[in-house]
Amino acid sequence: MKKFDFDFIGKRKIFFIIPIVIAVITILTALIAGVPVDIEFKGGTMLTYSYVGDLDTKAVQTAVQDMNLGTVGVTTGSAFGTDLETVQISFSSDEGLTAEVQSSVTDTLVATFADNTLELVNSQDVNPSSGFSFFLKCFVAVIFSFVLLVIYIAFRFKNIGGWSAGVFAIVALFHDVFMVFASFVFLRLPVDANFMAVILTILGYSINSTIVMFDRVRENRKLYGKKYTIPELVNVSVNQTLGRSIKTTITTGVAVLAMCIVALVCGVESIVSFVFPLFVGLIAGAYSSIFISGPLWAMWKTRPQADTKKSK
């Protein structure tokens, strides 16, 4: 019946400690080093220059950072409808750069990269309120999805205590979201639209694996009745779905990791800041579905209060 025979319940403390340690380190890192925030959420100024030849974006970023104008981001691209190659420099700050400072930046870059013939083609101040509005809408969407998921799981798995299953499925999703946040903190990636996109993608992926596990718990309860205790039932069910979870995660993870490698080789940083956190989220989603949601649910169902209520 089972291809695996791991004692997930017996070793649950180890599985719980690992994300707790990561969470503590992440929080300390965020408090000490801060959390990078993209210009669309923080506000600031974006300067776009056209150039010729090969331009070293790291050298550009170093040159601008030496001017001490705050957090700087550098990306390259092409001007729409033309053959011009462009480099966009974003300065994240509560206030935009003055005209004098922008002129000073331009003069420095033109002099430093004279061979690339830099020319300013666009200057734009970014209002942080628009980014905050986008973030707020995404946050509301996530909360709304959480509520719907709890209700759905509660009714679908009412025979095994659906409300508690729904709550611990959401706990697992919070774990996944935090691990994505941790990847941004440790890699010093700015929190931007990619962050929200990764979170919304991971929520759908992770909850599917968790629902599959609870569905197996429900089916095994129907099949075996009281033969297994709840911890044994969870162990059996997780072992039965373990192969599926591993294969699905490996298949998806390899594809995402391949995209990340290609983006790194081609120097497309905007893609890297999406696909690598997505890869981390896939691993976190598999971890929470296997090691967190089921064992937590089993602990809740076998808590002393629950045993007392059953005896009464």
Domains (ranges, CATH) in the chain? 12-36+130-305 (1.20.1640.10), 44-126 (3.30.70.2040)
Top mean pLDDT of 107-116, 124-133, 158-167, 301-310 is at 107-116
DSSP 120-159: EEEEEEE-HHHHHHHHHHHHHHHHHHHHHHHHHHHHHTGG
The structure's pTM equals: 0.80
Coil, strand, or helix at residue 78? Answer: strand
Is the pLDDT assigned to residue 2 strictly greater than 50? no
pLDDT of 138-153, one tens digit each?
A: 788 888 888 888 888 8
Taking CA atoms, 161 is separated from 10, 128, 220, 261, 301, in Å, by 22, 44, 14, 44, 8
Is the pLDDT assigned to residue 1 strictly greater than 60? no
- Look up residue 74 and give its amino acid: V
- State the maximum Cα–Cα separation within the chain, in Å, rounded to a whole number: 84
Q: Using the structure block, give the residue that is written with the tokens 């990636």.
A: 189
Cβ(297)–Cβ(165) below 8 Å: yes
Angle at which helix 162-187 crosses helix 293-301, to 10 degrees, equals 140
| HSE value, Cβ hemisphere, 13 Å, CA-based, for 176 | 35
**Virtual torsion, Cα 39, 143, 301, 235, nearest 10 deg:** -60
- Determine the Cα–Cα distance for residues 271 and 85; give it in Å rounded to an integer: 18
Is the pLDDT assigned to residue 312 strictly greater than 60? no
Q: pLDDT averaged over the chain?
A: 83
Exposure letters 68-107 (e unless 16+ CB within 10 A, then b): ebbbbbbebeeeeeeebbbbbbbbbbeebbeeeebeebbe
> Residue 82's pLDDT is what?
61
